[in-house]
Amino acid sequence: MDKRFEGKLERLDACRWRIPKSHKPGMRVDGIVYADDRLVESIRNDYSLEQVANVACLPGIVRHSLAMPDIHFGYGFCIGGVAATNPADGGVISPGGVGYDINCGVRLIRTNLTEADVRPRLNDLVNQLFRDVPTGVGARSPVQFTRQELKQLMREGSKFVVDRGYGLADDVEVTEGHGRLDGADPDAVSERAVERGMGQCGTLGSGNHFMEVQVVQKIFEPTAAEVMGLREGGVCVMIHSGSRGLGYQVCDDYVRELNDTPRKFGIDLPDPQLVCAPVHSNEGQRYLAAMRAAANYAWCNRQILTHLARGAFEHLFKLRPPQLGMTMIYDVAHNIAKMEPYDVDGKSCQLCVHRKGATRAFPPGHPEIPRRYRDIGQPVLIPGDMGRNSYVLVGREGSMKETFGSSCHGAGRLMSRGAAIRDAKGRSIRNELLEKGIVARARGRTGLDEEQPAAYKDVNEVVHVVDAAGLSQRVCQLRPIGVIKG
């Protein structure tokens, strides 16, 4: 939605801006936006800042309504939004604060290969990945589950598919939360959602989802890079996907199911898209149970995609797994709500943290970080666009103090998909990428057009803000050389 923000936006420092709670009636806390001078001008040009103010009206919200520098307009919450509510103080859970693609997220896999190994066979590699990894609307996974198995998968998460041979035990260890949210209840997921999820676990999907072959271009933190097994010139694979049709249907079902819930509990909302329920209510618990089931499905989806990517590399390069060294670095969710402990007025409270287009960024020493990363901080994976860089960062203490352990999740859109397609008219995005040494494959022409680099903010600027603000710290920069999309 294009509507320039005309409200008061107070500059706090080089990276932080405040929307005071006096901006509109009903705001319980201020809004805090992370951006520099350049980014804030583009941010002002859509409705997303008003959404930050709207979220500040939610019951039980703690500290601030937050927005990362990749902020743009979304459903209810802006994309790039973070909000924590306190259930003990009437705090609510809002499906719009998680989004339609529940547990859309990113994982990164390193390899022992270098760009010199891959470049001569890059076309073959991209074609092999395109053959082996189902992409696009309607694609079916080569890995099929019965309805009963699918429900078990939604309860157990990543370990369920790894135990069936689709990955390594170590993959589970380096997945956020071990690839599982407790409290998932497949019986809270509608039959329509289950039907949509049948056949899709192990598919990339469409839109901004991708599988990308990348090269480590620059290292900023050698110690952290060494712990992760990253070296300059090394080849990695980044996977971006979520819960497919199952997660979309869960969100759609509960947006409708909770339609009258705010009125039942006397909650006045500035935007009906913020439909919500108290966390401790039956309605809130039922949505959380279904959302967790969809989140577990998404982790299984990315796990099977990892298995398929490994198979494609092994087939093409005729190397055994130990020679390829395709080990997972980490997997992060960026559309999710989780119960996490934080200090509120000197007391530890379990808060419901909504991250919609935001990545967890826990600092060194946090008990939820895999032991191997405990000294450096949690890996934070930030994809850019097909023509520019992606980043690996690590969480820093500032995130715990300011953003409920959160950082940005990507570059953030500048153009709508329709605008990007119109902008690409008469051009060949595939050829433009090829001129930069990037081989791209997609199911249809619009798959590349709507995701062209110009449709996104410059991820280098976005990452600079979270680094300068002390939320997460740059470890290395990754350059794309091959990509497949729906």
Q: What is the pLDDT of residues 358-406, one digit of tens each?
A: 999 999 999 999 999 999 999 999 999 999 999 999 999 999 999 999 9
The token pair at 38 is 């350049």
Query: Within a domain: residue 295?
Result: yes
User: Predicted confidence band at 334 (pLDDT cuts at 50, 70, 90)?
Assistant: very high
Catalytic residue among 307, 315, 409, 464: 409
Query: Within a domain: residue 366?
Result: yes
Query: Within a domain: residue 1?
Result: no
User: Predicted confidence band at 137 (pLDDT cuts at 50, 70, 90)?
Assistant: confident
Gap between the Cα atoms of 305 and 331, Å rounded: 12
Look up the domain containing 162 and give its range. 10-485
Assess whether 409 carries a catalytic annotation.
Answer: yes
Cα 437 to Cα 108, 386, 387, 432, distances in angstroms: 21, 11, 9, 9
Query: Within a domain: residue 4?
Result: no
Q: What is the pLDDT of residues 61-109, one digit of tens each?
A: 999 999 999 999 999 999 999 999 999 999 999 999 999 999 999 999 9
Give all strands of the β-sheet with 16-19 in edge-to-edge order: 10-11, 16-19, 30-34, 64-72, 79-85, 347-356, 335-344
The enclosing domain of 132 has a CATH number of 3.90.1860.10
Query: Within a domain: residue 2?
Result: no
Query: Within a domain: residue 100?
Result: yes
Q: Which residue has the tokens 């509120």?
A: 344
Task: Please list, in sequence order, all residues whose beta carbon lies within 8 angstroms of the beta carbon of residue 471, skipping any fewer than 6 positions away.
Answer: 34, 361, 395, 396, 398, 399, 402, 403, 406, 407, 408
Q: b/e per residue, 269-281, with b = 16+ CB within 10 A?
A: bbbebbbbbbbeb
Which pLDDT score, from 0 to 100, does residue 1 have?
Answer: 57
Which pLDDT score, from 0 to 100, does residue 443 have?
Answer: 87
What total number of domains does the chain contain?
A: 1
User: Predicted confidence band at 304 (pLDDT cuts at 50, 70, 90)?
Assistant: very high
Query: Within a domain: residue 5?
Result: no
**Is the model's pLDDT at 486 over the cut of 90?**
no
How many helices (H) and strands (E) would you count in the chain?
18, 19
Query: Within a domain: residue 327?
Result: yes
User: Predicted confidence band at 170 (pLDDT cuts at 50, 70, 90)?
Assistant: very high
